[in-house]
Chains A and B, each alone.
Chain A
Amino acid sequence: MRYSIQTSTRFSRVSLALAVAMVFMLALLPAYASRGLLQDMFFILTMLTLAQFWNLLAGYGGLLSIGQQAFVGVGGYAMFALVILHGWDPLAAVAVAGCAALLVSIPMGFFSFRLHGAYFAIGTWVLAEVLRLLVAQFKALGGGTGTSLPRAATRNLWGADWVKEVFDVKSAAARDILAYWLALALAAAAIAGIYYLLRSKQGLALSAVRDNAEVARSVGVNAHRLKWQIFLASAFGTGITGALIYLQKARISPDAAFSVTDWTAYIIFIVVIGGIGTIEGPILGVLVFYLLQSLLADYGSWYLLSLGVAGITVMLFAPRGLWGLISDRTGVQCFPIRRLLVQHSNKTGENSVRNHH
């Protein structure tokens, strides 16, 4: 063995350990946090998950979707349908809701993959609007005005009794704790899953396809299959997250669940401001977004204007986002995917190939 591949650095190993410790600490948060903080954390974690999946599509796959709200909406509505019409436990329904979004994404992909670039973006948006209009026709789920989860269903979630006993809280707070844990698990799983994908052979191919799909195909990469895989995976993840969001809200309507502003525009803002095409970017981006929202949300349209100005400023002066700035200055990466070639010579032991970026 004369050559080997080196991906992780000492910094990344430390940061990985810190990330795992962080997840465990966050899991213990319900023991001492207020209900308001848990709800805020729930918001941050679900937005983070949505952002990671949009970043997978657009940042790594080059698929600029503006139709992610379709999967949030389908996920949310599938969960409501299973609970209201079939009497399922909401937690079980959340898992199955992801599959519903996956199913819907198959015909969506079939249509939208015929389009490229900006046309793909518009195409996905149009399809999401079509779904919104279709869902509004279901009278059993409240039609255009929407509906609420039955009180009995939200009160008797699986595990709610145990949470009530352990934390000594009422059932509404118990539901928040369960939703928070699920959001944490989902965000951690999304980040771990996407990082695992990017470290794999398929992840390398994904970067090649993003740079030049035509050339990627002629070096043996199955670009078409790869695009389908990430499209389906992100539909599934976005669908589950959507269901979870609406479990916590306990009320759904077509306009809210299929909102392009809430589930795609904000998500794009988070990813772009944090740094597209990196795992660290959306994490940073969601914190900035949360901060701006808590500071400015009372100012109505000024809030949206300032989001726009912040977005444009970052695009002009730091096109690779805040994480891009930090990473360029310091050279650190918490989730490195760069594969460095290391040459082993027998005389001097380990002898790395010179590396200058």
Chain B
Amino acid sequence: MRAPMLKVDRLCKSFNSLKVSNSVSFSVSQGEALGIIGPNGAGKSTLFNLITGNLRPDSGRIELMDMGDVTGMPPMQRCIAGVGRSFQIPQPFDELTVFENLLVAAAHGRGLSEHDACDKCGEILEQTELMTVANQRAGGLRLLQRKRLELARAMATGPKLLLLDEIAGGLTECESASLVATIRAIHKGGATLIWIEHVLHALNSVVERLMVLDFGRVIGIGAPFDMMNSEAVKTVYLGIEA
């Protein structure tokens, strides 16, 4: 058993009377890739916001490897502690160039000087196939490039744990395949991933375990094949009458 990179313990969060996270517990080992699926409104993105500190939980605990309890830590410090994320709707810094988007993440997320961060950013731009648009304004990019930029910027912060929120959503089959290849390479390089995705075949080609959320609860966690075939998952997620 590898050491847990992230341990989430009985995490609860409500928006008024709506329980978006209802006693969610799971852990992710170092180097593992965990996929998260669930219907719209199941609390997937909320879970990410809780892990990154953009939202505060009502109760429960979040532990990071080497850091211990990070439940009360603000997002900036969690990023520096090693949590990198991409946003569901790409949110580049529009007025900055693609390279500058990475540079600000590498310089501040890793605490490097711009000079030292430069090489790292160059490598990531090559790995994510963004080198040709490096010096273009990020606001003018097409969707695939925006998605790639989300991934690249998250990587630039030097994450130990990388959270990807529907990064393949809205892409064509072909675009999605090339992005998945990039993500698989990043995972092979040793990164710990948690990946929310509706495009199941993309997800299942990378992740080792799948967690299914519904109405803020974990209704199953296990090998992708077992999950896809479990009755509970078929009922709530795929909408098939059991």
Q: Which residues of A contact B (CB under 8 A)?
A: 1-5, 201, 204-205, 207-208, 210-212, 214-223, 338-341, 343, 353-357
Contact = CB atoms under 8 A, between A and B. Distances in A.
B39 to A, nearest CB: 26
A336 to B, nearest CB: 12
Residue among B101, B107, B125, B154 with the most chain A CB within 10 A? B107
Contacts of A217: 74-76, 79
Contacts of B21: none
A16 B125 CA distance: 32
13 contacts: A205-B107, A207-B95, A207-B104, A208-B96, A211-B93, A212-B91, A214-B54, A214-B91, A221-B104, A339-B114, A341-B118, A353-B132, A357-B137
A3 B117 CA distance: 10
Given A208-B104, A339-B114, A219 B135 contact: no
B122 interface: yes
A337 B192 CA distance: 35
Contacts of B107: 201, 204-205
A319 to B, nearest CB: 13
Residue among B92, B104, B107 with the most chain A CB within 10 A? B104
Contact of B121 (A1, A211, A341): A341
Contact of A3 (B110, B113, B122): B122
Interface string B65-82: 000000000111001100
Contact of A220 (B92, B103, B108): B108
Contact of B99 (A207, A219, A341): A341
A4 B110 CA distance: 18
B170 to A, nearest CB: 19
A140 B206 CA distance: 76
A221 B108 CA distance: 6
A220 B97 contact: no
Given A219-B157, A354-B135, A201 B108 contact: yes
B131 A5 contact: no
Nearest to B122: A3
Contacts of A222: 76, 108
Interface in B144-163: 153-154, 156-157
A343 B122 contact: yes
B128 interface: no
A217 B110 CA distance: 13
Given A201-B114, A204-B103, A211 B95 contact: yes
B75 to A, nearest CB: 5
Nearest to A199: B114
Contacts of B97: 338-340
A136 to B, nearest CB: 42
B94 A221 contact: no
Contacts of B96: 204, 207-208, 211
B104 A205 contact: yes
A279 to B, nearest CB: 16
A215 B118 contact: no
B87 interface: yes
A91 B63 CA distance: 57
Contacts of A211: 92-96
Interface in B102-116: 103-105, 107-111, 113-115
Given A340-B135, A355-B136, 12 more contacts: A2-B119, A3-B118, A5-B103, A5-B114, A201-B107, A208-B101, A219-B109, A219-B156, A220-B76, A220-B105, A353-B132, A356-B136
B217 interface: no
Contacts of B54: 214, 218
